[in-house]
Amino acid sequence: MASQARPCAFCGADSVFALQARDRNRETTEARFTYNRCPACETIFMVDVPADLSPFYAGEYHRFAADGTPEWEHNPTLAEVETARVAMLRRLAEPGGRLIDIGAGPGGFAAAAKHAGYNVTAIEMDERCCDYMNRRLGVHAICSDEPIAELERQAPARVISLWHVLEHLRDPGEMLATAAQRLQDAGMLAIGVPNPRSLQFRLLRARWAHLDAPRHLCLIPEQALASRLRAHGLRLVAATTDDLFGRICALHGWTYALRRRPAAKDSAAVTVRAAQAISRLLAPVERRDLRGPALTLLFVKNPQ
């Protein structure tokens, strides 16, 4: 595969070919997608992003049970992920004030934040998710597939959260700039992203579940995010890949890599056991030095 010289989707530097990947997770298409790597900021990004990405989100991207409730309402572990995220915010600042959750999905984090005392606004493109948040969770949800434009219209917030959102965006840098601008002084920006410096990506490459072609358009490392946000007056105050969500992602990563496609479908018990064994074996490596598959980062704006 010839190298395709393209400007980095995050910093604009010249990039080099990294890999080609299919939609192993959901098999929405047989097409192959090319990802480049930026030698300057180490972002991995898709070149030639299709104009219409909606077919790749078709079907059950957000899962709802027959009674109309989303998966996190029935899965204590998923609910625990969200309360753990809120607890991480609370360790750094008393809860309360305005919180904007971007790409809120079916509202698991929004509900946990509301419960902790935040005044939550959610921005989400999926109508069913917005309907659930507005009607069932009492969270103000704005249905929009233009999150940057929507965020620009919002009053300044004490917390803005981007849980696994940036990797889906065509212009993650513009989202970061807007989020930084919409934060109050001493406000917090919470970011979750797949980790391109993870052990799993280094070993699994195109088989890595959290590459998630073609839904993930870019994988930005921690240093590049911190450097960009520093220019906007935000300082990194917490970074981990060993939170609950990171550990769940680690097991998913090994499990999906062992499955035949589509990797997101349920698989045999023997596959799950094998993945658990690999995960246990490699956990000491994955849990050190931000080598896990999912980064959780907290930034504070203009800290004293």
Residue among 191 and 257 whose Cβ is closer to Zn ion: 191
Residue among 43 and 178 whose Cβ is closer to Zn ion: 43
Bond prior to 214 in cis (omega within 30° of 0): yes
Residues 27-66 that bind Zn ion (CB under 5 A): 38, 40-41, 43
10-18, 55-63, 174-182, 272-280 -> range binding Zn ion (CB under 5 A): 10-18
Chain-centroid distance, C-alpha 25: 16
Q: Please give the Cα distance from 291 to 169 (Å, whole number).
A: 23
Residue 8 binds Zn ion (CB under 5 A): yes
Which of 273, 148, 262, 141 has the alpha carbon at shortest distance from 212? 262
Binders of Zn ion: how many residues, by CB under 5 A?
Answer: 8
Q: What Rg value do the Cα atoms of the chain yield, rounded?
A: 19
Residue among 17 and 64 whose Cβ is closer to Zn ion: 17
Closest CB 204 distance from Zn ion, rounded Å: 22
Scored b (16 or more CB within 10 A) or e, 250-277 reads: bbbbbbbbbbeeebbeebeeebbeebee
Closest CB 223 distance from Zn ion, rounded Å: 11
Residue 18 binds Zn ion (CB under 5 A): no
Lookup: tokens for 238:
């917490």
- Figure out which of the listed residues 7, 11, 156, 215 binds Zn ion, where binding follows CB under 5 A: 11
Closest CB 200 distance from Zn ion, rounded Å: 21
Closest CB 173 distance from Zn ion, rounded Å: 10
Alpha helices in 143-268 (DSSP H): 147-152, 172-182, 199-204, 222-231, 244-258
Placement of tokens 């035949």 in the chain:
260
Q: How many CA atoms lie within 13 A of 218 on its CB side?
A: 24
Residue among 151 and 218 whose Cβ is closer to Zn ion: 218
Closest CB 56 distance from Zn ion, rounded Å: 24
Beta bridge partners of residue 124, listed in sequence order = 143
Lookup: tokens for 128:
């069913």
Closest CB 109 distance from Zn ion, rounded Å: 29
Residue among 4 and 77 whose Cβ is closer to Zn ion: 4
Residue among 219 and 263 whose Cβ is closer to Zn ion: 219
Residue 176 binds Zn ion (CB under 5 A): no
Summarize as ranges the residues that interact with Zn ion (CB under 5 A). 8, 10-11, 13, 38, 40-41, 43
